[in-house]
Structure formats: structure tokens, C-alpha cells
Amino acid sequence: MDYDYVIVIDFGGQYAHLITRRIRELGVYTEFLSAENASLEELREAIRGAKGVILSGGPSSVWEGKHDHIASIVVEEAKPTLGICYGHQLLAKVLGGSVGRAYKPEFGPTIVSVKARGDPLFDGIPETIVAWMSHNDVVLQPPQGAVVLATSQGSPVAAFRVGVVYGVQWHPEVVHTMFGLKLIRNWLKLIGVERNWKPEHMVDKLIASIREAVGDGVAVAAVSGGVDSTTASLLAERALGDRLIPVMIDHGLHPAGEPQRSVELLRKIGLEVRVVDASDRFFEALKGLTDPEGKRR
């Protein structure tokens, strides 16, 4: 790549994509990799090329040992790393610390006391903040040589540092955490990453990947009128031209006139959308259903 990038390794946390978004918003390209789907070779290669690595939260317990090998790779490669929630506990365990059940699990807004305000991760962050927690397990004893950076009532090691490895028990990526974006910005600064990336830098790469995937064939784009499908379809149209067929399904449950308005707007940006009226089919399938999950299926 022509610019620095950060890797976010997802352990199934509900906020993992949000971490990626926050860092991109700060001008740093971020790759999102699933711990479940990426091979160890892919992870190691991505980690080696990255300026820094973030380990996300997740529903697992570090007692299960299912992700120790991934955290070990990060430590072996000596990459600047930030562990968040489960990622924080995982790093502490792999580095020799003790993780166990919290005597006071923490969920929601939690008061955190910053103990080492001289550390660059907490530059400009006050001694007491309210942070968003979501955990049953905690780091009970920090790894040997670690500096404890913060504590809370239920987390004796709410944040720590060992060399270039940091861990925080809370979620700095959510708006409920005070100074959360500041903490992420501080981390990007201390790992020396250049904030020179913009989303439009991805356009040429995405267009090329669409052309490679479709080859000489024809592609169908499912369009709803929303931001995601519109962006994807517009990129595909630039890649394929008239070999792209944008299709909107009118299921009959839109607000009145919305499909027509969406089609008009899409045509203004160059997408000639075909509308399929499937309302009778949907109404028939929904007839007599009252269970919301049944309706969704």
C-alpha cells in the first residue's frame, strides 16, 4: 500500500466494525480481519505489514484458549498493539498475567481512574472518566513488567502497558466512553502512523476488484435506495458499465412512493434501475403471520 495501515482482528465483538470505522475517520486506512475466517498465514502477513494491531472485544472467555495463538503472533512480531475488552484480557494472559472472573462484573457506564497520566496513551485525558464496560472477566494480575495504567471498582487492571503492547478493559470506540476517540487518536500518534488516508483512495482498488471478479460476465446489483447498496452499485457501474443490471424489489411494504423516489434519485447518478413488483408474492407469504421473526424470514 502507498499509506500506513492498521489491522483490527475481530473476535466476534459487537463493536469490532465500529473500531475500524473510528480509525478510518481519523485518516488511517484500517483492515478488518475475522479471527474465525482468516488463516494464520493471512493474519501473520497482514500483521507484519501493519503499523499497529487492535484486538477487539468478543463473547469468548480467555479460559477457553481458542485465540491464544493469534495473540502470540502479535507479540512475536513485536507490533504496537491495543487490546480492547476481550483483546485486553487475551494479551494479559498470553504475556503471563492472570485473568479470572470479576467479583463485580461491569456493564454500561463505569467510572475509571487513570493512574499513569504521564503515559502517552492518556495524554490530555483526565484522572477520572466514565467509560463503557461490558465484561464478566477481568485481568486480576498484570503481566510481569507491566505498568497498570487505570483501574475501576470491578477491574483492578483496567488498563496496562508492556513495551509496545497496551490493553484497556473498556470500549473507547463507542460514544458512551468519555475521551474514547482521544485515546484512539493518542494510540495512533504513539505508534507513528501517518493520518493521510481518505475513503476515496479505495475507489480504484474496488473498481479493479469488481472487474476481476465479474470478468466478461454480467452482474446483478440488488439496490434498495440506501447508502450501502447505492455506493456498491455505483462502484460496480463504473467498473462494468452496461454489464451491470441494478434491480430493486418492491415488496409492497415501503412507505408510499418511496421506491419511485429512490429510482428517480438513482437514475440521476447514472444507475438505470429495473423495478420488480413482488408485492403480491410478499403479501401472500405474510398472510396470517403475527410472529415478528416469522415475518422477517
Read off the pLDDT band of 140 (50, 70, 90).
Answer: very high
Pick the catalytic residue from 67, 135, 171, 237.
171
- Of 47, 45, 86, nearest to 65 by C-alpha is 86
Read off the pLDDT band of 288 (50, 70, 90).
Answer: very high
Cell of 130: 466514565
This prediction's pTM: 0.76
Higher pLDDT, 54 or 3: 54
Q: Is 293 a catalytic residue?
A: no
403471520: which residue's cell?
289
Distance in angstroms (rounded) separating the CA atoms of residues 106 and 132: 9
Asked if residue 237 lies in contact with residue 270, where contact means CB atoms within 8 angstroms, the answer is yes
Span 260-271, pLDDT tens digits = 999 999 999 989
Confidence (pLDDT) at 101: 87
Which residues are paired to 219 by β-bridges? Answer: 244
Give how far the C-alpha of residue 81 lies from the chain's centroid of Cα atoms, to the nearest Å: 15
Span 172-195, pLDDT tens digits = 999 999 999 999 999 999 999 888
Q: Does pLDDT of 32 surpass 80?
A: yes
Confidence (pLDDT) at 55: 95
Asked if residue 57 lies in contact with residue 87, where contact means CB atoms within 8 angstroms, the answer is yes
Q: Is 171 a catalytic residue?
A: yes
- Please report, rounded to a whole number, the percentage of residues in the chain having pLDDT higher than 90: 69
Pick the catalytic residue from 67, 88, 135, 173.
173
For 93, what's the count of Cα atoms within 13 Å in the CB-facing half-sphere?
A: 21
Exposure b/e, 278-290, CB count within 10 A at least 16 = b:
eeeeeeeeeeeee
Q: Is 212 a catalytic residue?
A: no
Q: Does pLDDT of 27 surpass 70?
A: yes
The alpha carbon dihedral of 196, 199, 200, 205 has a sign of: positive
- Of 39, 31, 40, 24, nearest to 9 by C-alpha is 31
**First and final C-alpha spacing in the chain:** 41
Which residues have a Cβ under 8 Å from the Cβ of 295 and sit 6 or more positions away?
Answer: 286, 289
Asked if residue 20 lies in contact with residue 53, where contact means CB atoms within 8 angstroms, the answer is no
Pick the catalytic residue from 85, 88, 135, 237.
85
